[in-house]
Structure 1
């Protein structure tokens, strides 16, 4: 390509009166910075101007959006130097931290009530093993919910502060409803109350613009809570149909063998 251009220059420069060279200081513009090859003709006389250079990439960039070494200086100044302060904490308000600790207490209290229900139905003079199994599993599930919140609290750099737990009742027999229906209605009320507390935790996260906490509550708790409410509501409806008699034993057997594989 350059040989052809040189040949063209040679032929064109012989067509003038005084055969002046076209590579003058004015015709070779920006030879150190242009970084391009330009071919053009001069007005009123034939000719070709070729301008090429290296070093076009040496110019500094302009309009940089993200400068990590500059912006990280602010973050470095915020890194705690004392052992008592979390290093991981970032954009995690005290309101969110306190709300999580409150929810931990809610989960432990509900777990405690369910454990008391397990102990009641496991008595020899009550002997409803299916209900005992159901409430023991429910107690364990609520405890796991509390532990998951504790792990999340530590992950965000908060401090877990366990609070007092209220002593639950030990007797659950009801003169009109019987113990099974009364206990299941109590469980339904507790699940709804827990859901209300979770919604309050979610609203605290929204008010504090804590998107991560909102996602955690919605993905880990709210859907599961709705499912639990629906399931226990069906149990209440079934127990209201069977009354306090022999039907309670059949309902208890259903809970006892729930999840077991049926062998044909």
Structure 2
């Protein structure tokens, strides 16, 4: 039987019938279908009902004898609004069932950011290999860049998981081969490597901000929240830390000071 809010509320007042449904439940049941309403049994007196039609809508009302007896349960059929969503559920196995309000533009932008994170990770891994050489032997720098490479790869994996969660498809791209030599005639290898890392983090931050701006313009609230909670704050903190390292390395020079900085960096990483 169909319970229509506009008819039911006026009819209940006219008939002085005490059907135990609140205004909020009547409101929520508009556009919905009630297939059954059950009252508790009350001795010999059985609840009678009054049925009729109002404006072409069938209405079933409880009698006065049901006045103070609560409705034990009401079984609802899906709302009318759900019908259009049911028609949009994909039937082909290649299509995502979870995808909802996720544009192709966001999907492509996430794949691009995955490539950025992997590319930065690749460069950091090359820097780790350089500082780990026997004739360079800066173990603190080697560990720092190895950890940084792992962190950027984890960021790429987080984006891949998010892509799958939203129903997109991960498409990995080719990466440029990174440098294998990081020595610099004037700056030395330590300062040059840290300045390069700082530049990479700023570039990554710019890419994330562009992605955030695009998500805002499209009004993809989920993507905006994901970027703000998982990436943007951490990116600013990384830039601040690398800026301090660059400032310190500019003071210590290219000789013993670099060796001392390397020891300090190694101890700090071990303590973290």
TM-score when normalising by structure 1: 0.76
**Cα distance between partner residues in 1 of 2:151 and 2:110:** 17
Larger Rg: 1
- Aligned partner of 1:226 in structure 2 is 236
- Aligned partner of 2:207 in structure 1 is 197
Q: CA deviation at 1:69?
A: 2.1
| Cα pair 2:202 2:239 within 8 Å, conserved | yes
Within 5 Å, which residues of 2 pair with 1:1-264?
Answer: 34-35=15-16, 55-57=17-19, 61=26, 67=32, 68-261=78-271
Structure 1 residues 66 and 168: CA distance shift in structure 2, 3 A: farther
SS at match of 1:101: helix
Structure 1 residues 130 and 70: CA distance shift in structure 2, 3 A: same
**Cα distance between partner residues in 2 of 1:127 and 1:158:** 44
SS at match of 1:87: coil
Structure 1 residues 162 and 203: CA distance shift in structure 2, 3 A: same
Structure 2 unpaired stretches of 5+: 1-10, 33-77
Structure 1 residues 62 and 177: CA distance shift in structure 2, 3 A: closer
**Cα distance between partner residues in 1 of 2:219 and 2:257:** 51
- Aligned partner of 2:4 in structure 1 is none
Q: CA deviation at 1:187?
A: 0.1
Q: CA deviation at 1:207?
A: 1.5
| Cα pair 1:33 1:56 within 8 Å, conserved | no
SS at match of 2:179: coil
Quote the RMSD (CA, aligned, Å).
2.2
TM-score when normalising by structure 2: 0.74
| Cα pair 1:129 1:252 within 8 Å, conserved | yes
- Matched length: 213
**Cα distance between partner residues in 1 of 2:262 and 2:102:** 46
| Cα pair 2:31 2:79 within 8 Å, conserved | no
